[in-house]
Structure 1
Amino acid sequence: MARHPEIPDKAIIQAGKELEELGKTPNPGAIRAHLGYRGGLIRIKSVWNSFVQQREQKLIPETQAELTFDALPESYAENAGELMKKLNAALEQLILEAYQHSRKVFEKRMQDIEHSERLRLQEWTDAEQQADKSISRLEDEVNDLQKELTSLADQNAKLLIENAEFRGRLAILDERFASEGKVKQVGETV
């Protein structure tokens, strides 16, 4: 009984295709490295070469006789020419319709993007205006507080001056009462 291969054919072919997509040459060593160094080189080479051979085969085999379009009977050539014209016209129409459809889709997407960006811009503008209003209000409050601070500083200065005057008067009165008290004490003792 034969042993099953470690790596299936599909995995080998897939690894080779991936290497081609990466722009690398899919030789057996590169494929084996891409598969994590699993599988035998001879089997990988065999599977990959048969895949490449099948891929390169023409779908319609070449005929041995040299047959050209001009060598066809006239009715076949006319029918084939008419068919090619119809196919060409249908292909042109299909291309034009595809272009028009893609243009409509593009314009619709652009309108949607433009609309959403306008909404975002309006939101930012509104937010900026609200921020400006808040800043103006806060600046007004700061100015009012600054005025109040200045007023309170002036009041404090006046109160300090008045306080100093009162202290001076009290000191004078204390000296008077102290000297009068000494005189009374001296008079009472005499």
Structure 2
Amino acid sequence: MGRVAEYSEKEIIEAGEVIESNGKHVNPFAIREKLGGGSPDRIKRIWETHLQSRKAVDSEEGIDDVIELPTEIQEAFEKNLKTISSQLERITQESFRVAMQLSEKRVKSTIDEYQAKIAEFEESEQKAFHALEKSDREKEELEQKMETLIAKNEQLLAENSKLLGNIESLQSRISQLETKESELSELQREFGKLQGKIEVMESNA
């Protein structure tokens, strides 16, 4: 019986990394094509979880690589950092003030436009997932129907063979009966001739 092909998390991640190493964009459809099947929803979940885990590992490695600075350099760095932070704070406040002066309607329109595009993309992605899963189910159903038809065909062939045997047996029986009928007709003719001779002999006696 045909079934939708499922792959392990390791196989899905390895397929994504191969696509990534070739400089191509990795998405559930590309991984599915690389593997030759699988549920797009499941592939998406596994790949996104892998990306999050990889980011966490990279962050931890970055923390481990931090070098402790000498006291003088550290103090100077912290002093400069405070100055820069103060400047950044002023710049941020000024930027915020300018941003607040922008048209809220225009900002809202831009946000709504991007949200609509995101929603449209997510809807298209879900439709594609459902279409692939439906295709896999229909393929499985067709394979099941094919297996059923093959089994019925084999059964019909067996029954046909049996019927052919019965027909041959009947034809042989009919042939035998025709031979017997021919012999009976011959006997009846012989009996008629004999009866005629007897009648002639009785009339002459």
TM-score by length of 2: 0.41
Which has more radius of gyration?
1
Greater RCO (Cα-Cα under 8 Å, separation 6 or more): 2
Of Structure 1 and Structure 2, the greater helix share is in: 2
